[in-house]
Amino acid sequence: MDEIEDKSCIFCEIVAGRAKAHRIYEDDLSLAILDINPFSEGHTLVIPKRHVPWWHDLTEEEVESLFRVARTVSSKIMRAYSPDFVAIYARGRRIPHTHIFVVPTYGGDVLDRFFNALEGFQEGAAGLAALKEEAKLAEAADRLREG
């Protein structure tokens, strides 16, 4: 690993082989392991082998690896479990080591209900309605291009 590993980080301990994990797939830069607190059977985490708390601080090669491994694991999940779809999302608040959730999801399960509720909120919340206006969208696009 390029950066000093964080011995208090469970993912660094797994990468180093000092902590147990059910390894699913890996390449030189990323590792896929089963989540020990799964939302559904086959729920997998994809982590970079280098300790990087925020995904946007990964190198281009690490980002490519992370998403390539996530795609490979998604294909494995589709073949093994035949879910309605495979949800992926990045999170990292609880464990400050970049990781992507790769979760087999079925209509009506907890993630499907959560994302449906979130989309309903996104479409219907009065506070968010102003964000759909063309002037606000143009302003946001300009800010992001400049940032």
Q: Are residues 72 and 31 in the same domain?
A: yes
Q: Are residues 100 and 86 in the same domain?
A: yes
Q: Are residues 32 and 44 in the same domain?
A: yes
Q: Are residues 54 and 8 in the same domain?
A: yes
CB 32 within 8 A of CB 44: yes
Q: Are residues 46 and 100 in the same domain?
A: yes
Catalytic (active site) residue 51? no
**Could you read off the pLDDT tens digit of each residue along the chain, which spans 147 residues?**
445 567 789 999 999 999 999 999 999 999 999 999 999 999 999 999 999 999 899 999 999 999 999 999 999 999 999 999 999 988 767 889 999 999 999 999 988 898 888 888 777 767 777 788 889 888 999 888 998
Q: Are residues 76 and 31 in the same domain?
A: yes
CATH number of the structural domain spanning residue 84: 3.30.428.10
Of 43, 51, 97, 99, which residue is the catalytic one? 99
Q: Can you give the pTM of this predicted structure?
A: 0.82
Q: Are residues 80 and 15 in the same domain?
A: yes
Q: Which residue range forms the structural domain that includes residue 126?
A: 109-147
What is the reported pLDDT for 5? Answer: 64
Count: domains in the chain:
2
Q: Are residues 96 and 113 in the same domain?
A: no
What is the reported pLDDT for 123? Answer: 75
CB crowding 37-64: b at 16 or more within 10 Å, else e: eebbebbbbbbbbbbbeebeebeeebbe
